[in-house]
């Protein structure tokens, strides 16, 4: 039953990164099914992320379309971390041309921003250009090997 729900939730993508489902993003923290009612708990990624209301509405829609009664709750109970992005999600990010976030437990805050692997050549010959990319959750880098800029999903 829950697998079926997760399958439905996998069709809901991050509005900023259309290749990444909310399940792979790690924002779905709990799913409870009772008869036809599905309780979904979501945790916000970046504080003040304007996409959260949109994601909530999309989750509700996806469940309704499949005949369920959604109850979506946004809660900070389990704080989100970029480490919650699944391996599948990280692979999708990379394919999309966005460097996946490095494991936040391995670096200090300062080091982590300076650590980026180019999604094109897989090398670390990179330089942080701006900690603020086109959206809050991305930082801008330059790869000296490819001589091209790329974005990294910020580790949190
Ligand atoms: Zn490169």
Distance in Å, CA 137 to ligand 1 centroid: 21
Q: Are residues 41 and 104 both part of a single domain?
A: no
Q: Are residues 108 and 145 both part of a single domain?
A: yes
pTM for this one?
A: 0.83
Distance in Å, CA 97 to ligand 1 centroid: 11
pLDDT at 87: 95
| Residue 70 structural domain | 2-74
Q: Provide φ and ψ at 87, rounded to 5°.
A: -60, -40
Distance in Å, CA 101 to ligand 1 centroid: 16
pLDDT at 31: 95
**The Cα angle at residue 2 between residues 34 and 73, in degrees rounded to 5:** 65
Write the DSSP string, the chain. Answer: -HHHHHHHHTT-B-SS-TT-BHHHHT-EEEEEEETTEEEEEE--SSTT-THHHHHHHHHHHHHHHTT-EEEEEE--SS---GGGS-HHHHHHHHHTTEEPPPPGGGS-HHHHHH----TTT----EEEEES--SSTTEEEEEETTTTEEEEEEPP-
Q: What distance in Å separates the CA atoms of residue 93 and residue 67, rounded to the nearest whole number?
A: 31
Distance in Å, CA 115 to ligand 1 centroid: 13
Q: Are residues 54 and 114 both part of a single domain?
A: no
Distance in Å, CA 124 to ligand 1 centroid: 8
pLDDT in tens, the chain (156 residues): 588 999 999 999 988 888 999 999 999 999 999 999 999 999 988 665 667 888 999 999 999 999 999 999 999 888 888 999 999 999 999 999 999 998 877 777 667 777 799 999 999 999 999 887 777 778 999 999 999 999 998 887
Looking at the domain assignment, is residue 92 inside a domain? no
Distance in Å, CA 45 to ligand 1 centroid: 27
Q: Are residues 6 and 69 both part of a single domain?
A: yes
Distance in Å, CA 136 to ligand 1 centroid: 23
Distance in Å, CA 14 to ligand 1 centroid: 25
């Amino acid at each position: 039953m829950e697998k079926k729900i997760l399958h439905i939730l996998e069709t809901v993508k991050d509005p900023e990164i259309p290749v990444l489902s909310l399940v792979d993003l790690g924002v779905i923290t709990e799913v409870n099914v009772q008869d036809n009612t599905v309780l979904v708990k979501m945790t916000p990624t970046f504080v003040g992320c304007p996409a959260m209301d949109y994601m909530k509405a999309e989750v509700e829609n996806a469940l309704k379309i499949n005949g369920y009664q959604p109850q979506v709750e946004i809660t900070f109970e389990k704080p989100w971390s970029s480490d919650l992005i699944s391996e599948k999600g990280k692979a999708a990010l990379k394919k999309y041309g966005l460097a996946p976030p490095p494991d936040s437990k391995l670096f200090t805050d300062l080091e982590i921003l300076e650590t980026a692997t180019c999604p094109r050549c897989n090398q670390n010959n990179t330089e942080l250009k701006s900690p603020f990319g086109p959206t809050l959750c991305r930082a801008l880098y330059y790869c000296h090997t490819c001589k091209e800029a790329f974005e990294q999903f910020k580790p949190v």
